[in-house]
A and B are shown apart, each in its own frame.
Chain A
Amino acid sequence: MAESSTLICEENQHENVPVYEFMDVNSKEFHIGAFRDLWLDVLNPEVYSYSVTAPEIEDVEFMEEMGIEPKTLEELKSICSVDSLRSGHDGTDNVPSDLHLSTLKLRKRRQDYKETLTRYTVDRHEVYANEMEMTSVGKKPDDLRDLIPEGEIILTFNIMYPILFRRFKFVRAYQTLHVLGSQKLSDLRDAICCVSDLQVFGEFSNTPDMVPQFISKDHYKSAFFFFNGTFFNDTRFPECQDISKTTQEWTRTRDFPEFKTAKMEDTSFYDLKMKVGFPYLYTHQGDCEHVVILTDVRFVHQDDCLDIKLYPLITHKHRVVTRKCSVCHLYISRWITTSDALAPTDPCLFCDQCFRMFHYDDKGNKLGDFLAYAYVDPGTFN
């Protein structure tokens, strides 16, 4: 009776309850909208709301639920209060002297080791790792209409920088984006910062003053996401082509299952079926490929950033070393020259001023024979 109905419920739930496919690596596929509905079924709305219920109301509810008297509740409160957990020590910066816990023993050992070092090295990456996230935590919007509705899901994506093999041997650089479940895939696409979007074409050695009219982002607008056998293409602009077609034609000649296509701007994250922790693909500019991993799917909490206008929110960006000019080593390089007889290396980087001083005379004539291209440094997003 009661057992059989719970069994039926469990079968429905099993489909969309996320479980591990490989332990600690990634989960099985589940539908995000259905997952959200499952949670909403089991949760009391007060639990995930932003407001806090008054303690008196909570007390009354508790007494009714358990059938106890106020006196018992008072006794319970005094026993279970937070004061019962306080430790005797006040100073939290140093490890207390009486070591009983093995965690503290390890920490004391490390502290002693650090004191023996002559130089105090600080890992700047770690010190500022959370800085970006902390600037947006707890932000409430001025306009209440921009408040994220309660019960909304936040997805966290790690988007890796495109693989350039020599540079990314030891470090896997990525940016972390938070998106809301109700937003579309195209919003995510717009929020991804990739340096290849800013590349400018053309050889400008003869016309260094001509300001380029366009950047690649405006010129080549097609992009796609590939999630679980479906290509989501960007079809917002007339210039966008379906760049996934070539891949699909290739797979048809081989032994691959049939892949589907869908539109990026029509799909919201609630419609997707995803695996958590599994690498997916994002391609733009024709061949700039990024690995995309969905790291986390969770409910919005009152301590998160609650301003809907700020989403998709970037919480972590890997810092890339900027390349300076080869002449002055002061300014960030804006020009790159090849087959330049005057330059020490091929190719060679120059900042704007050094470039002009070096390659052009007072009247603006070109000195020597070279090819110059505009260079966008990968560290522009730092």
Chain B
Amino acid sequence: MSRKKLCEYYWAPFKSDCEELLGRFQQTESVRYEEFSAIWREMDFSGVFFGTQSDHEKRYFTRLIFTIAYRYILPPYSFQIRVGGLYMIYGLYNTQLIWPKEKIRIALKDWYDVQKLIADAKSCQHLDVVYIFKRLLSSKAFCFTAMPQKLTFEARERVQHNVNEEFRDHKNRVTELASIEMLEEIANMHGHYERLKKSSVPPSSGVTLLNLTYLVQKCAFEYQQWQDKIAVTSEFNNLRLLPLFLQSSSRAVMLAAIKSKSYGHVSKGTKSRRHRQVEMVTSGSGTDHALFSQKRRPPSLRTRTWQNFGKPSEPEQTQEWLLSVMEEDKNALKRKDIRRFKWRNNWL
């Protein structure tokens, strides 16, 4: 109907392009911007904007791809994919062809997640991630909104947002339990408890106190080592991932080690996630999603009456003015099917 809805057909192809880009980035197993920009140049990704003639179409397309690319910064994707999404947004923002530049809408509920991502990157000294984010902020690329896209209550195709299972973040539950904050808390509570005991009850020599923090830490570390041993990717790759500028404090080393291991193992995730069914159906499955079929009009009152009360066969659409024409000629006067552009092919 309106070209706005026609632009929506670019949703599925662009999503597959994004997934290809991020998939390649995932395979490099790094979060460096250099690797990302090498893949970008190789795929010539800035070419997605080429080919549209009208300004209006360009603007609508740009808005659409920002909505699609934006989802990759948020959970449940893994750290590497989220960083890749951030780079992708940086790239798309700077290579767009319209002026005034279309902004990246960021909702309040997602801002907290993005801040956490940047904080993680800062603590691991991933300088390029932080720098790129700061560049986006200073070039006023973000538009701070309530919801990620404009909601107009229009009846439109419900696009299914299915999360690529390979990009999903596989939570390492043991490391979460043995995280620094948790260990600190346990240590604090342990100390508090001991102090209370000493002050209230005379020390009894029979009871040996367990150092809980040390035990938890040890267990977590052993588990990590066991995981590493059975992983496919070698330790050599992990060393490559360690950030370039390490702090000398052990805490940062611990955190960095945890973070680097958590995204180094994307290819072989924890088996516990496998039982989760993929809830969504892929979006490109055809026209059954359309809430309003644009090609056919609703049946007229005459046809409906015939269908409900008349003869079982469809009423003949005799055109009175053709009655005087010979039989053979009637075919020639049939309205030719207008060749319409098929947006969706078999492969979409």
Residues of A within 8 A of B (CB): 1-3, 17-20, 24-27, 30, 35, 38-39, 42-43, 47-48, 52-53, 58, 62, 65-66, 68, 72, 76-77, 79-80, 82, 84-89, 91-96, 98, 100-111, 113, 116, 123, 125-127, 129-130, 137-138, 156, 158, 170, 172, 276-279, 293, 295-299, 301-303
Q: Top 5 A-B pairs ranked by shortest CB distance?
A: A277-B151, A95-B51, A102-B13, A298-B145, A84-B37
Q: Would you call B128 and A76 a contact (CB within 8 A)? A: yes
Residue in B13, B108, B146 whose CB lies within 8 Å of A103: B13
Closest to A49 in B: B140
A17 contacts across to B, CB distance below 8 A: 108-109
Q: 1/0 contact trace for B88-99 toward A, CB 8 Å?
A: 000100110100
Closest to B341 in A: A113
B145 contacts across to A, CB distance below 8 A: 296-299
A76 contacts across to B, CB distance below 8 A: 127-128, 131
- In the bound assembly, the distance between CA atoms of A105 and B108 in angstroms comes to 36
Residue in A25, A86, A108, A301 whose CB lies within 8 Å of B103: A301
**Which of B1, B131, B152 counts the most A-chain CB atoms under 10 A from its CB?**
B152
Q: Would you call A103 and B48 a contact (CB within 8 A)? A: yes
Closest to B185 in A: A1
Residue B105 at the chain A interface, CB threshold 8 Å: yes
- In the bound assembly, the distance between CA atoms of A53 and B134 in angstroms comes to 12
Q: Would you call A302 and B46 a contact (CB within 8 A)? A: no
* Other A-B pairs beyond A27-B147, A126-B3, A296-B145, 9, CB < 8 Å: A43-B144, A77-B131, A79-B33, A80-B132, A101-B47, A123-B3, A130-B59, A293-B153, A295-B150
Q: How far is the CB of A316 from chain B (nearest CB, A)?
A: 11
**Which of A103, A105, A127 counts the most B-chain CB atoms under 10 A from its CB?**
A103
Q: Would you call B100 and A138 a contact (CB within 8 A)? A: yes
Q: Do most interface residues of chain A lie in helix, strand or loop, or is the interface mixed?
A: mixed
Q: 1/0 contact trace for B1-37 toward A, CB 8 Å?
A: 1111000011001101100000000000000011001
Q: Would you call A297 and B146 a contact (CB within 8 A)? A: yes
A104 contacts across to B, CB distance below 8 A: 47-48, 50-51
Q: 1/0 contact trace for B75-109 toward A, CB 8 Å?
A: 00000000000000001001101001101010111
- A sample of 8 cross-chain residue pairs with beta-carbon separation below 8 angstroms, ordered by A number, consists of A2-B181, A27-B147, A65-B122, A72-B127, A127-B56, A130-B59, A293-B152, A299-B144
Q: Would you call B154 and A92 a contact (CB within 8 A)? A: no
- In the bound assembly, the distance between CA atoms of A182 and B97 in angstroms comes to 34
Q: Would you call A158 and B152 a contact (CB within 8 A)? A: yes
Q: Would you call A68 and B127 a contact (CB within 8 A)? A: yes
Q: How far is the CB of B246 from chain A (nearest CB, A)?
A: 12
A101 contacts across to B, CB distance below 8 A: 13, 17, 43-45, 47-48
A72 contacts across to B, CB distance below 8 A: 127, 245
B219 contacts across to A, CB distance below 8 A: none
B223 contacts across to A, CB distance below 8 A: none
Q: State which size class the interface on B falls in.
A: 35 or more
Residue B162 at the chain A interface, CB threshold 8 Å: no
Residue in B1, B109, B138 whose CB lies within 8 Å of A18: B109
- In the bound assembly, the distance between CA atoms of A278 and B154 in angstroms comes to 10
Q: Would you call A62 and B131 a contact (CB within 8 A)? A: yes
Q: How far is the CB of B177 from chain A (nearest CB, A)?
A: 13
- In the bound assembly, the distance between CA atoms of A94 and B49 in angstroms comes to 10
Residue in A52, A68, A87 whose CB lies within 8 Å of B44: A87
- In the bound assembly, the distance between CA atoms of A30 and B146 in angstroms comes to 10
- In the bound assembly, the distance between CA atoms of A111 and B341 in angstroms comes to 10
Q: 1/0 contact trace for B163-201 toward A, CB 8 Å?
A: 000000000000000000100110010000000000000
Q: How far is the CB of A317 from chain B (nearest CB, A)?
A: 15
Q: How far is the CB of A63 from chain B (nearest CB, A)?
A: 10
B134 contacts across to A, CB distance below 8 A: 58, 62
Residue B143 at the chain A interface, CB threshold 8 Å: yes
Residue B212 at the chain A interface, CB threshold 8 Å: no
B57 contacts across to A, CB distance below 8 A: 126
B277 contacts across to A, CB distance below 8 A: none
B4 contacts across to A, CB distance below 8 A: 126
Residue B137 at the chain A interface, CB threshold 8 Å: yes
Given A18-B108, A18-B109, A66-B125, A276:B146 Cβ within 8 A: yes
**Which of B34, B54, B108, B134 counts the most A-chain CB atoms under 10 A from its CB?**
B108
Q: How far is the CB of B9 from chain A (nearest CB, A)?
A: 7
Given A3-B181, A18-B107, A39:B152 Cβ within 8 A: no
Given A79-B33, A278-B153, A279-B153, A92:B13 Cβ within 8 A: no
Q: 1/0 contact trace for B48-66 toward A, CB 8 Å?
A: 1111111111010000000
Q: Would you call B151 and A47 a contact (CB within 8 A)? A: no
A109 contacts across to B, CB distance below 8 A: 341
